[in-house]
Chain A
């Protein structure tokens, strides 16, 4: 075949823009893996995750970064987590599945989500316009996770740093989600 390979296309075309006091960009290199605990399997999963990926199981409403900072595990629901890998080579879910074996159920979620990175002094104020959950530093420290509704869209907000957030929302409505965040940034000027 002449052109054997398919070309992946970021949901927002790799969007990146500087605003006054904030930067907003699409995180295109993220692989997202769903991991769920078999019954009575938390300890085994905890051990395996630590051994294979250097990850500690997070508590509700939070996330943990691996020691080498390439993976972040996010609490999703009771017994369910998402692991986020930066710039992962190859299908992350296959790798996780191979490493965790029977200690977890594993599914690929990478393309289910569009990811936006929002950082800068205006980030909190912009989120205040769309996010009903308190994202002030004192209530939402680094590593904090909130899954909620923003402008009628389901979204997950993760505080990655003092003034930086990773926002995940459904990939099919990526453009509406981007518009919501952009509008907030424009409106807080």
Chain B
């Protein structure tokens, strides 16, 4: 597979490590009242879609950036590759 890195262009997937569902960015607040339930959902309950899936990939042998790769799990077609940091900020994550 080839991942089109937003800064570095097309790179072989062998340079990357795949973590899984991009929803891992949305870490709940650990101090909320229902934190245990939220973390249970966050950590253990994930979709496994046959089709479009947003995944976290780490450019371990490259610039060490975390990427959000939108990929079709059936055809392996890649629709979009974004810097996870930007995605996280768009989701409202900051400090």
Q: Is the CB of B61 within 8 A of A149?
A: yes
Q: Is the CB of B85 within 8 A of A60?
A: no
Q: Which residues of A contact B15 (CB under 8 A)?
A: 132, 148-149
Interface string of A37-65 (1 = CB under 8 A from B): 00000000000000000000000110000
Q: Which residues of A contact B64 (CB under 8 A)?
A: 77
Q: Is the CB of B85 within 8 A of A78?
A: yes
B62 CB–A CB distance under 8 Å: yes
Q: Is the CB of B65 within 8 A of A77?
A: yes
Interface of A is mostly: strand
Interface string of B59-82 (1 = CB under 8 A from A): 011111100000000000000000
Tally chain A residues at the interface, Cβ within 8 Å.
Answer: 11
Interface string of B27-48 (1 = CB under 8 A from A): 0000000000000000000000
A75 to chain B: closest residue by CB: B63
Q: Which residues of B contact A132 (CB under 8 A)?
A: 11-12, 14-15
CA distance A95 to B35 in the complex (A): 48
Q: How many A-B residue pairs have CB under 8 A?
A: 32
Chain B interface residue count: which class? 10 to 19
Which among B7, B61, B83, B85 is the interface contact of A148 at CB below 8 angstroms? B61
A76 CB–B CB distance under 8 Å: yes
Interface string of B9-28 (1 = CB under 8 A from A): 10110110000000000000
Q: Is the CB of A147 within 8 A of B65?
A: no
B8 CB–A CB distance under 8 Å: yes
A91 CB–B CB distance under 8 Å: no
CA distance A40 to B65 in the complex (A): 19
Q: Which residues of A contact B11 (CB under 8 A)?
A: 132-133, 148
CA distance A132 to B8 in the complex (A): 13
Interface string of A73-87 (1 = CB under 8 A from B): 000111000000000
Q: Which residues of B contact A148 (CB under 8 A)?
A: 11, 15, 61-62
A contacts, CB < 8 Å to B? 60-61, 76-78, 132-133, 147-149, 154
16 contacts between A and B (CB under 8 A): A60-B8, A60-B63, A61-B8, A61-B9, A76-B63, A77-B63, A77-B64, A78-B7, A78-B65, A78-B85, A147-B61, A147-B62, A147-B63, A148-B62, A149-B61, A154-B60
